[in-house]
Amino acid sequence: MSGLVEGKWVNGDVAAEEIKNGAFHREETKFRTTSLRAESGRYQLFVSWLCPWASRTLIFRKLKGLERIISLSVAEAKIGDNGWQFTAPQDAGEHVGPIRYLHQLYTASHARYTGKVSVPVLWDRKDGRIINNESADIIRILNHAFDDLTGNRDDFYPAPLRAQIDHWNDIIYPNINNGVYRTGFAKTQASYDEAVSALFSTLDIVEAHLAGQRYIAGEYLTEADWRLFVTLVRFDIAYHGAFKCNIRRIEDYPNLSNYLRELYQWPGVAETVNEQHIKTGYYGILWLNPTGIIPQGPAFDLRRPHDRDRLTGKGIMQR
């Protein structure tokens, strides 16, 4: 097991504690506060360019104009013997001071914490505690909590579209977002076959859906699109090879590949994607890739023109 046991770090096979009968089962996150007092400079986001869950929060921090409100600490691409670590000490506020390892935030929040240590973490520098480590919660916090400070009323979870957003999240998360992990971390042929089949069946469904819809929930860009995007942008460069998600590439899907390029080209989003970190991190998982060799390819350009303008799109709904 890799993680904390009664507040002590235990190093072992990454994700081994989440394998049951040869299949990957993601451990639930444990810090789930969803309300906070909006103050500039009080909160800090701990992330990795590698992680798709952290990528969601990076995108929302950018789209909501929170760069000056919420500070950022980015972990190294490879997960080390002490889990997520930082090249240089990160100041976590007066209660905790500088840290080198993410697990120090977990034990500062709960001295006898037991469980996985993961990014992203939304950290309260003033109180010295983790507010939330569940990306689905964090993006909704960022979507609305600081609007009065920034004046940004863009709403990625608008009330009129919530039923559609939730419907598609419930399809995309288990079969695509987590489906690539269920495929890549499978320890038996049967578990792999089940996961990879569900993954590509669902990609086929979304490909057909996007033939007539500009975005997942229709004409407006919502959180459902960004939740899907973070997996799509990692797919061909990492999951296809490192995780054996190789029935097809995203590039082989006309609608998904054009959709991916549109989202990547959305103002500010490309800055949240670090392709080299993504490849270094995934191919650096030595129990999946024992040689540690990082491939140079594939070669493709997400800045190429897309065709999504052929469909009606109204941008972002306002609160």
Tell me the domain boundaries of the chain. 3-150, 159-310
Question: Which residues lie below 8 Å from residue 299, measured CB to CB, with a gap of 6+?
Answer: none
The second-level CATH assignment, the architecture, of 3-150 is: 3-Layer(aba) Sandwich (3.40)
Q: How confident is the model at residue 30 (pLDDT cuts 50, 70, 90)?
A: confident
Please say if the pLDDT value at position 162 is more than 60: yes
- The answer to the question of whether 206 is labelled as a binding residue is no
Indicate which residue of 43, 106, 113, 181 is catalytic: 181
**What average pLDDT does this structure show over 37-61?**
98
Q: How confident is the model at residue 40 (pLDDT cuts 50, 70, 90)?
A: very high
**What average pLDDT does this structure show over 133-158?**
98
Residue 123 bridge partners (DSSP):
44, 130
51 counts as catalytic: yes
Predicted pLDDT at 14: 42
**What average pLDDT does this structure show over 201-217?**
98
Predicted pLDDT at 110: 95
**Half-sphere exposure for 169 (CA within 13 Å, toward CB):** 13
Exposure string for 210-231, b = 16+ CB within 10 A, e = fewer: beebbbbbbebbbbbbbbbbbb
Please say if the pLDDT value at position 1 is more than 60: no
Domains 3-150 and 159-310 share a fold: no
**Half-sphere exposure for 131 (CA within 13 Å, toward CB):** 24
Exposure string for 13-46, b = 16+ CB within 10 A, e = fewer: ebbebebeeebbebeebbbeeeebebeeebbbbb
- The answer to the question of whether 118 is labelled as a binding residue is yes
Q: How confident is the model at residue 137 (pLDDT cuts 50, 70, 90)?
A: very high
Helix (H, G, I), strand (E, B) or coil at 115: strand
Convert the pLDDT of each residue in 105-131 to its tens digit.
999 999 999 999 999 999 999 999 999
Please say if the pLDDT value at position 15 is more than 50: no
Predicted pLDDT at 29: 77
Question: Which residues lie below 8 Å from residue 253, measured CB to CB, with a gap of 6+?
Answer: 203, 207
Predicted pLDDT at 25: 59
- The answer to the question of whether 2 is labelled as a binding residue is no
**Phi then psi dihedrals of residue 284, to 5 deg:** -85, 0
Predicted pLDDT at 27: 72
245 counts as catalytic: no
Give the Cα separation of 96 and 120 in Å (integer).
18
DSSP character at residue 93? -
- The answer to the question of whether 117 is labelled as a binding residue is yes
Helix (H, G, I), strand (E, B) or coil at 99: strand
Please say if the pLDDT value at position 12 is more than 50: yes
Predicted pLDDT at 31: 87
**Which residue is listed with tokens 């296809």?**
240
Please say if the pLDDT value at position 20 is more than 80: no
Highest CATH level, class, for 159-310: mainly alpha
- The total of other beta-carbon atoms located within 10 Å of residue 288's CB is 15
DSSP character at residue 206? H
- The answer to the question of whether 134 is labelled as a binding residue is yes
Work out the mean pLDDT of the chain and round it to a whole number.
Answer: 94
Higher local confidence (pLDDT), 34 or 122: 122
Indicate which residue of 51, 215, 253, 264 is catalytic: 51
Select the highest-mean-pLDDT range: 30-44, 256-270, 282-296.
256-270
Please say if the pLDDT value at position 319 is more than 80: yes
Predicted pLDDT at 22: 59
CB-CB contact of 299 with 259 (8 Å): no
Q: Which of 10-19, 88-97, 129-138 has the lowest mean pLDDT?
A: 10-19
